[in-house]
Amino acid sequence: MSEPPRVAGPSAVAALVAKFGSALPKALLALPLLSLILLLVAGTRLLGPAQGAALPCYALVAGNALVAVFALLGLLAARERRERSLRDRAALSAREREHVGDILRLEHEIDLLSAMRDVTRILNDDVQFERIWERVLEILRSIVEYEEVTIFVREVGLRNGLDEVVLIPRVHHREGRSVLGADIDPEKIDLSGVAEALEHRSAYQIVESDVLSLFFPLSVDQENMGVLKVTLPLTGDARERGARIDECQAALTHLLKHLSLAIKTPTLYDMAVLDHLTGLNTKRYLLQQLDQEFRVSRRHGTPFVLVLLDIDHFKSINDTHGHLSGDLVLSGVAGCIRQAARESDTCYRYGGEEMCVLLPESKLPDGLALAERLRGLVERTRFRGERGQEIRATVSLGIAPYGADVTDVPSLISRADQSLYRAKDEGRNQAWCWGERGPEPAEPRPAARASKTRAQGGRSRRQGVSR
């Protein structure tokens, strides 16, 4: 049984047209031209002997000429369509590239807006400088792939009795490692370009080989907060490097206000809750925290303790060594308090030379242990005055635990205060606590301790002799 003849389908026809379509107008043009030449030759030969027989040849020549003209027009039209198609394809490619560029720009703007939102959220959640910047650096890294970033904070200090503006490095990130605050070694920080950015209040850049350093002044409400320095690598040709610089500068410029707020917000908080001289929390913040502890303790029954201390003979220190030396002693005692306190404790300057420690979720023995630890630490410390002279100091302490009979914050502070002044009346350099019948010694008094030590030494010597 013979197979039926195969019929070319639409796809086969389309393939043939695509393959030979461009050559078809040329073939149509060549065929009538060839026929025209042959007919002219034949007509010339017939013109002599039989002129009438040549008329059909001329008709064929005219027809072939028309076919040639139409073929030529078709060829020109095909070429125009092809050129139009190429132009349309080029326009589509250009629009596609433009749309891709628009999409990338929109994605970059979305990333910037997300970064601004995240920084704002961080500032709403936290007020501690180091914790804020640990999170802000992660956001900054997602926007600009930097090698190194440093935040310089503007501070005003005294030098030779005059105000002097200094830039203190407070944040430094390099090679995946962040260093914050006092842990930064200023000797390892490059300061070139920083002062210029602060002075001119405008962005500043330094390009050295394949490294770009960008400097941006940070300000809020026309107040200079510091300088942001970002270092990043440059690769590619001049056009690519220029585009990289413009992109990074634009991105960081958009973030400057939020980065400035990341400096000012914790600074304002510190001004509100931190004592400038000692670095301890303020009395106002103490009262807020005590009120909160009272509410928690009444609801959950958790204990807490307040330890109040006063520097002994502080007026004499001021009169003998000067008020600047007195301030240095105050600051030194505050350092002893921070050193002796536990991580969960909070330390405050109550006023003048009085300071205190709040021990949450703690009982009286915890307060007694802290008081004795702190008393001994201050007694052993050699403080230095403004001329470098050695100054000795001691403290007296009053301890008041929270109890069911404590009605409010003032009554708790009053108990700690009464215990403190009983310690002063009994000879200073000791701690007293509030007991069932009022103030009572937390430990044996210094004289009693000395007598007990001598007695123990005497017994030891007698035991040694008896041996």
Answer yes or no: pTM beyond 0.85: no
- Note whether 426 and 287 are same-domain residues: yes
Share of the chain above pLDDT 90, in %: 30
168 vs 330, higher pLDDT:
330
Of the residues 251, 272, 293, the one at which a domain ends: 272
384 vs 219, higher pLDDT:
384
**CA–CA separation, 405 vs 391, rounded Å?**
41
State the residue for tokens 């190194």. Answer: 148
Residue 299 falls inside a structural domain: yes
Q: What are phi and psi of 280, to 5 degrees?
A: -85, 165
Confidence category of residue 459, pLDDT binned at 50, 70, 90: very low
In this predicted structure, what is the pLDDT of residue 91? 86
* pLDDT at 404 exceeding the cut of 80: no
Residue 201 falls inside a structural domain: yes
Residues facing 178 on adjacent strands: 173
Q: What is the mean pLDDT of the chain?
A: 79
Residue 62 falls inside a structural domain: no
In this predicted structure, what is the pLDDT of residue 410? 94
How many CB atoms are located within 10 Å of the residue 251 CB? 17
- Note whether 297 and 440 are same-domain residues: yes
Residue 32 falls inside a structural domain: no
Domain range for 211: 123-272
Which CATH number does the domain housing residue 246 bear?
Answer: 3.30.450.40
With 0-12 / 13-18 / 19 or more C-beta atoms within 10 angstroms meaning exposed / middle / buried, residue 459 is exposed
> What pLDDT, in 10s, does the model give residues 58-108?
666 666 667 767 777 777 888 888 888 888 888 888 888 888 777 776 776
- Note whether 310 and 253 are same-domain residues: no
Strand order in the sheet with 354-360: 346-351, 354-360, 304-311, 395-401, 431-435, 438-441
Which CATH number does the domain housing residue 437 bear?
Answer: 3.30.70.270
Residue 118 falls inside a structural domain: no
The number of angstroms, rounded, from the C-alpha of 122 to the middle of its chain's C-alpha atoms is 9
Residue 343 falls inside a structural domain: yes
In this predicted structure, what is the pLDDT of residue 191? 81
In this predicted structure, what is the pLDDT of residue 314? 96
- Note whether 244 and 386 are same-domain residues: no
- Note whether 319 and 259 are same-domain residues: no
Residues facing 274 on adjacent strands: 281
- Strands (DSSP E) found in 71-210: 148-159, 162-174, 177-180, 204-208
In this predicted structure, what is the pLDDT of residue 458? 39
Pair type for strands 395-401 and 431-435: parallel
Share of the chain above pLDDT 70, in %: 75
- Note whether 290 and 199 are same-domain residues: no
Residue 2 falls inside a structural domain: no
How many CB atoms are located within 10 Å of the residue 8 CB? 10
**Tokens matching residue 326:** 């007195």
Mean pLDDT of 447-463: 37
> What pLDDT, in 10s, does the model give residues 277-326?
888 999 988 998 999 999 999 888 899 999 999 999 999 999 999 999 99
- Note whether 223 and 262 are same-domain residues: yes
* pLDDT at 8 exceeding the cut of 80: no
Of the residues 228, 244, 272, the one at which a domain ends: 272
- Note whether 188 and 300 are same-domain residues: no
In this predicted structure, what is the pLDDT of residue 7? 46
Mean pLDDT of 249-274: 78
- Note whether 266 and 388 are same-domain residues: no
**CA–CA separation, 133 vs 226, rounded Å?**
14
DSSP string, 267-293: HHHHHHHB-TTT-SBPHHHHHHHHHHH
Amino acid at 281: N
**CA–CA separation, 182 vs 165, rounded Å?**
18
In this predicted structure, what is the pLDDT of residue 168? 82
Confidence category of residue 467, pLDDT binned at 50, 70, 90: very low
**CA–CA separation, 118 vs 121, rounded Å?**
5
The 3-state DSSP composition of the chain as helix, strand, coil percent (nearest 5) reads 60, 20, 20
**CA–CA separation, 206 vs 214, rounded Å?**
7
Q: What are phi and psi of 186, to 5 degrees?
A: -60, -25
* pLDDT at 231 exceeding the cut of 80: yes
**CA–CA separation, 93 vs 99, rounded Å?**
10
In this predicted structure, what is the pLDDT of residue 56? 64
